[in-house]
Amino acid sequence: MRPKPKTKLCELLNIKSCQFQIKQLQTEDMPKVIEICQKIFLGMGSIVDDPWQTEFFTDFQYSVKAVSFGRIIGCYLLCPSSLDFDKEDYTFYENTENYKSKKGLFGNVLALKPKYHGRGFGKQLRNVPLAYPFDYIWGYHLKSLNNLDHWTRFGRRVIAESNNCYMTLMDLGQPNILDPRTE
Ligand SMILES: CC(C)(COP(=O)(O)OP(=O)(O)OC[C@H]1O[C@@H](n2cnc3c(N)ncnc32)[C@H](O)[C@@H]1OP(=O)(O)O)[C@@H](O)C(=O)NCCC(=O)NCCS
């Protein structure tokens, strides 16, 4: 029986760091990112159905792409923005008044191509804003995604709800992890 190699091929070839990277998103990445997101959220009535709106709520200073062997495989689109305090059609479950003086970050779209799920890449993407200098992060979650538990386990709390979406928020403390972006 052949002995199990101690070093993985990618390490031998010194390409480990190329396997998965989180990089700052560039304007020219948007068509590819939107294509990936549209496939994932197909028919759900998500923001990515409207590329103009998706880009409007994407700040290239904070948004990131996930890259594997030079190809974009996912993204976390982020944008500095206060939460929608008076969002029509939403029932609020808490008084958000004290957030009016705080610095908010809107988590617009988090997505990773399905074949890369379950390897910890999505988690790394999800952690990116934890290193950013904001007081809180918030976002919408389509009920049809059925993933609210994932977000509440992570630390988000439901602050409001509409017929088809939850609005969640998480306080961000001082930067607590290193910025995982590689460039
Ligand atoms: C969300 C997503 C990027 C996570 O990537 P992943 O590769 O599945 O997750 P990983 O294996 O890297 O990490 C697992 C963590 O992600 C969370 N997670 C898994 N699937 C998730 C999902 N569909 N939505 C939100 N979080 C999810 C898990 O709770 C887990 O967290 P924990 O380890 O703290 O318990 C990926 O599942 C995805 O693109 N899903 C489709 C799009 C989507 O639902 N985006 C969120 C919109 S609100």
Domain locations along the chain: 49-171
Q: Which long-range contacts (CB under 8 A, 24 or more apart) does 153-160 make?
A: 154/126, 158/93, 159/83, 159/92, 159/93, 159/94, 159/96, 160/87, 160/90, 160/91, 160/92, 160/93
Share the mean pLDDT of the chain: 89
pLDDT in tens, 56-79: 999 999 999 999 999 999 999 999
Amino acid at 82: S
Three-state SS at 49: helix
Three-state SS at 114: helix
> What integer pLDDT is reported at residue 4 of this predicted model?
56
Does residue 12 have a pLDDT over 60?
Answer: no
- Ligand 1 centroid – CA 37 distance (Å): 14
Q: Bigger pLDDT: 17 or 4?
A: 4
- Ligand 1 centroid – CA 122 distance (Å): 6
Smallest CA separation from ligand 1 atom 48, residue? 141
- Ligand 1 centroid – CA 153 distance (Å): 11
pLDDT in tens, 122-142: 999 999 999 999 999 999 999
pTM above 0.85, yes or no: yes
> What integer pLDDT is reported at residue 43 of this predicted model?
87
- Ligand 1 centroid – CA 47 distance (Å): 18
Smallest CA separation from ligand 1 atom 17, residue? 150
- Ligand 1 centroid – CA 4 distance (Å): 32
pLDDT band at 169 (very low <50, low <70, confident <90, very high): very high
> What integer pLDDT is reported at residue 182 of this predicted model?
57
Does residue 9 have a pLDDT over 70?
Answer: no
Does residue 6 have a pLDDT over 80?
Answer: no
Q: Which atom of ligand 1 is nearest to the CA of 116?
A: 7
> What integer pLDDT is reported at residue 173 of this predicted model?
80
pLDDT band at 181 (very low <50, low <70, confident <90, very high): low
Q: Which atom of ligand 1 is nearest to the CA of 141?
A: 48
Where does 49-171 sit in CATH, by number? Answer: 3.40.630.30
Pocket of ligand 1 from Cβ distances under 6 Å = 40, 110-112, 117-123, 125, 141, 145, 147, 150-151, 153-154
Rounded CA-CA distance 170/139 in Å is 9
pLDDT in tens, 133-167: 999 999 999 999 999 999 999 999 999 999 999 99
Mean pLDDT of all residues in 28-44: 95
Q: Bigger pLDDT: 66 or 2?
A: 66
> What integer pLDDT is reported at residue 15 of this predicted model?
47
